[in-house]
Chains A and B, each alone.
Chain A
Amino acid sequence: MLLPTFALIFFINLYPLVRGGVISFQRLTVFTLNRPRFIGFENYRTLITDPNFWNIILNTVVWIFFSVLFQLVFGFILALLLVKPFKGRGLYMGVVFYPWALSGFAIGLLWSWILNGQFGILNDILIKLHLIKQPISFLSDPRFAMFSVIMINVWYGIPFFAIMLLAALQSVPKELYEAAQIDGATMWHRLVRITIPCIKPAITSTVLLRIIWVMNFPDIIYGTTRGGPAGATNILSVQMINIVYYQNNFGKASALGIIITGVLLAFSVAYLIVAEKGAFEL
């Protein structure tokens, strides 16, 4: 009975992973598709010795940290607002959650026109409100580009946190709040002492899931800046796409994919050990 499941996992998960690992040690470009040859760690060496590599790593850390942080904060606030029933709650939830239903690439294209430094609607609104005089190059000025793509990602990711945390909030026993109220606990105390500890497992797992997704989520950046200008928004997953689409070097892209997998694996284990304070076992 286990065989079909195993076969499915093997072909869908394991085989591509192993194949990706093998390719990462080959010189496999569009010119050598039919005759790949093994070149050892050459792909990894070229990647790591690239002068832009550490800049890309730094960008990736910034991208993940701020995206997930703001998504968590705003998602949590949203979940708290939605936990008590009110009239029109269903409709409100529908409107608030809709960004989650859009494709990342479509969001990238949509926002690249909204934030366009020349014909963008956001600049137009800001100028008409007399808040700025010159249009801001949101996506083409290296000072703003990373901020802009993170903002788009936060807009996109809030609903996910809200949905997950809302589900967790609804399972917190009401008796705890009643008891706390009798003891004279303030709102803040109830939040810190009851709500957060009760939904901590949900927060931990949602944050971990989001970190993995955000790291593997090149859609928004690819749709807006393709990692530019001059590498200001280049993160690992975008660089991987650029290597495939621009350089047509599949071996090098696989090597980067393996690096991403390794980093995520190491991070996930470390994160769970810290978050579960030793309760986590491999």
Chain B
Amino acid sequence: MSQAIYSLRLKVTYYRMICLVRFIAARNGKRYRLIEEHIVCFIIVNCEEVVELRKFSFVVLIVLLFVGLVFAETVTLRVIQVFTSPLRTKVLEEIISKFEAQNPGVKVELISPPYETAYQKIYLMVSAEEPLDIVEVGDWSLSALASMGKLLSLEPYLAQSQLTGHLVPGVLDAARTYKNTAYLLPNAIYVKTLFFRPEITSKYNLNNAPATMEQLLEFCRAITKPEQNQYGFDFRGKGYPTAFIDIVMTSFFDDIDPNCMYLKKDGKLIFEDKRALDGINFYLELFKTAPKDSINWGFDEQVNSFVSGITPYLFQDPDTVGLLNELLGSDRYRTAPLPLGKGGKAYPTIGFAGWGITSYSKYKDIAWKFLEFFNSPEINALWCKDYGALPVDMRVYDIDPYFKSDIFHGWTVMFGDTQHYQFTKYPLDNEAWSEWNELHESTMQQVLLGKMKPETALKTWADFWKKAGLGK
């Protein structure tokens, strides 16, 4: 009998404990799942079997204290970046600590996988719904991530935010690549421009930047002296050379579709046009003014060669600015708008990167707060200045004279001259895009080595995109 009473008393204590845990949880504005409640209570009630009642009260007190501590934990936002570099991580950490100082109780945990494997890591983490609140999304990964359905539409937040009124025109449109919905808030934009080294080129009486592609080739040929280890064009053969090939090829056109780099305004693929062949042949001529080794060059080698002065003409994104300022100093290089091609135009693309919020995040509102904080003019200026991207908030250009300085000449001209510089987009929402880069790189290398005819490469590219449903 006493055993039965004892057991009943245990049950009563057990359920009292559950109520108590729920009560504490409710006061803290948190919900604990049923199983967690039971685990806490099971431990407490089982203690009663082995200790006397007085000791039991003591244990309850300790456990309550522990439970209280658990509930008082801070909110942790988990953020993952893609374009990891030591410089970038340092700036990011600085911004995070400012955010944490402004928001007590919020902790931001930064995950920085190496760039090479970052996309795969993010794809897999997000698809398995691993704890992540904020994900760095680049233009090239946007469609893949959004199509998984694991990114939160930011439209409701954007509708209420004052930030949108100050964004550089076109940025939000660019961010709405996938199903016309913004799944990220861009914080920096990337547009390629021409970098050159006046102290090297002036030795050959070339003081101005080339205004046209013809001039660029002429200048490069003039300074190429292999015996002196002096070359012209800073070529990129490996690791996503797509944009470099396209800048040259599309400059031979004057009718590129503003919505797709690979289509003409009549809806046909550019690769089937005779001008594409001229473009490729011109690209081969440019390659002749670059070191042969550059067929195996990626970003690092390009920058190295530019800094050492071996190849003083380089097409690159603004994030190179941060690196060059550190390696060369801001007075030893200049930028100029992309040279115009035979078509009298140049077709740059707006690349962008920013933060997205996972659809399964527990702290969506706090995550949005972080995004807004990151895009506030002061922080955006800090971010873009140290890292070397172009700010997305127009107010930054007024706040900080740095972005109006000479270094940004190339971009300032391109943004102001819409007649000659027509911005266009890559077909990033096409599923075939992820297979395109490898094909583009390897076929181009074969053409450069003389193992494949330019005509064959163009046909391969046209066939690839036709199969992917692009072009008439």
Q: Which B residues lie within 8 Å of A30 (CB)?
A: 123, 144, 148, 434
State the majority secondary structure of interface residues on A: loop
Contact check, A228 vs B295: say whether CB atoms are below 8 A apart: yes
Residue in B123, B127, B296, B437 whose beta carbon sits within 8 Å of that of A246 in the complex: B437
> B147 near A: Cβ within 8 Å?
yes
Contact check, A229 vs B295: say whether CB atoms are below 8 A apart: yes
Contact check, B120 vs A245: say whether CB atoms are below 8 A apart: yes
Q: How many angstroms from the CA of A238 to the CA of B304 in the assembled complex?
A: 26
Contact check, B293 vs A135: say whether CB atoms are below 8 A apart: yes
Given A118-B310, A230-B451, A140 contacting B293 (CB threshold 8 A): yes
> B330 near A: Cβ within 8 Å?
no
Q: How many angstroms from the CA of A31 to the CA of B434 in the assembled complex?
A: 10
Number of interchain pairs (Cβ within 8 Å)? 102
B104-147: which have CB < 8 Å to A? 116-117, 119-120, 123-124, 127, 143-144, 147
B270-302: which have CB < 8 Å to A? 291-297, 301
Q: Which A residues lie within 8 Å of B143 (CB)?
A: 31
Q: Which B residues lie within 8 Å of A34 (CB)?
A: 127, 148-149
Contact check, A244 vs B144: say whether CB atoms are below 8 A apart: no
Size of the A side of the interface (Cβ < 8 Å), in residues, is 30
Q: Which A residues lie within 8 Å of B116 (CB)?
A: 245
> B326 near A: Cβ within 8 Å?
no
Given A228-B442, A229-B237, A246-B434, A31 contacting B451 (CB threshold 8 A): no
**A75 nearest CB across to chain B (Å):** 30
B64-120: which have CB < 8 Å to A? 116-117, 119-120
Residue in A119, A225, A249 whose beta carbon sits within 8 Å of that of B434 in the complex: A249
Given A118-B291, A135-B293, A139-B296, A33 contacting B435 (CB threshold 8 A): no
Q: Which A residues lie within 8 Å of B291 (CB)?
A: 117-118
> B449 near A: Cβ within 8 Å?
yes
**B237 nearest CB across to chain A (Å):** 7
Q: How many angstroms from the CA of A137 to the CA of B297 in the assembled complex?
A: 11
Size of the B side of the interface (Cβ < 8 Å), in residues, is 41
Q: Mark A41-68, 1 if CB is under 8 A from B, else 0.
A: 0000000000010000000000000000
Contact check, A249 vs B127: say whether CB atoms are below 8 A apart: no
B253-284: which have CB < 8 Å to A? none
> B445 near A: Cβ within 8 Å?
yes
> B446 near A: Cβ within 8 Å?
yes
Q: Which A residues lie within 8 Å of B294 (CB)?
A: 118, 140
**A192 nearest CB across to chain B (Å):** 44
> B169 near A: Cβ within 8 Å?
no
Contact check, B237 vs A140: say whether CB atoms are below 8 A apart: yes
Q: Which B residues lie within 8 Å of A134 (CB)?
A: 226
- Name the residue of chain B whose CB is nearest to the CB of A248: B434
Q: How many angstroms from the CA of A139 to the CA of B295 in the assembled complex?
A: 9
> A226 near B: Cβ within 8 Å?
yes
Contact check, A141 vs B434: say whether CB atoms are below 8 A apart: no
Contact check, B438 vs A242: say whether CB atoms are below 8 A apart: yes
Q: How many angstroms from the CA of A29 to the CA of B143 in the assembled complex?
A: 12
Q: Which B residues lie within 8 Å of A29 (CB)?
A: 431, 434
Residue in B120, B147, B293, B310 whose beta carbon sits within 8 Å of that of A244 in the complex: B120
Residue in B120, B296, B304, B451 whose beta carbon sits within 8 Å of that of A228 in the complex: B296
Q: Which A residues lie within 8 Å of B308 (CB)?
A: 119
> A103 near B: Cβ within 8 Å?
no
- Name the residue of chain B whose CB is nearest to the CB of A133: B227
Q: Which B residues lie within 8 Å of A244 (CB)?
A: 120
Q: How many angstroms from the CA of A231 to the CA of B305 in the assembled complex?
A: 24
Q: Which B residues lie within 8 Å of A245 (CB)?
A: 116-117, 119-120
Contact check, A228 vs B445: say whether CB atoms are below 8 A apart: yes
> B342 near A: Cβ within 8 Å?
no
Q: Which A residues lie within 8 Å of B123 (CB)?
A: 30, 33, 248
**B101 nearest CB across to chain A (Å):** 37
Residue in B119, B127, B449 whose beta carbon sits within 8 Å of that of A142 in the complex: B449
Q: How many angstroms from the CA of A190 to the CA of B425 in the assembled complex?
A: 72
Q: Which A residues lie within 8 Å of B144 (CB)?
A: 30-31, 248
**B442 nearest CB across to chain A (Å):** 6
Q: Which A residues lie within 8 Å of B451 (CB)?
A: 142, 230
Contact check, B238 vs A228: say whether CB atoms are below 8 A apart: yes
Q: How many angstroms from the CA of A117 to the CA of B448 in the assembled complex?
A: 16
> B239 near A: Cβ within 8 Å?
yes
- Name the residue of chain B whose CB is nearest to the CB of A231: B442
Q: Mark A221-247, 1 if CB is under 8 A from B, else 0.
A: 000011011110000000000101111
Contact check, B120 vs A116: say whether CB atoms are below 8 A apart: no
Contact check, A226 vs B238: say whether CB atoms are below 8 A apart: yes
Q: How many angstroms from the CA of A142 to the CA of B445 in the assembled complex?
A: 10
- Beyond the given A33-B124, A140-B237, please list 10 additional residue pairs across the A-B interface where CB-CB is below 8 A: A31-B148, A118-B305, A118-B310, A142-B449, A229-B295, A229-B449, A231-B445, A231-B446, A247-B438, A249-B434
Interface residues of chain B, those whose CB is within 8 Å of chain A, are 116-117, 119-120, 123-124, 127, 143-144, 147-149, 226, 229, 237-239, 291-297, 301, 304-305, 308, 310, 431, 434-435, 437-438, 441-442, 445-446, 448-449, 451
Q: List 21 A-B contacts (CB under 8 A).
A: A29-B431, A31-B434, A33-B124, A33-B127, A118-B293, A119-B305, A137-B295, A137-B296, A142-B449, A228-B237, A229-B448, A230-B446, A231-B446, A244-B120, A245-B119, A246-B435, A248-B119, A248-B120, A248-B144, A248-B434, A249-B434
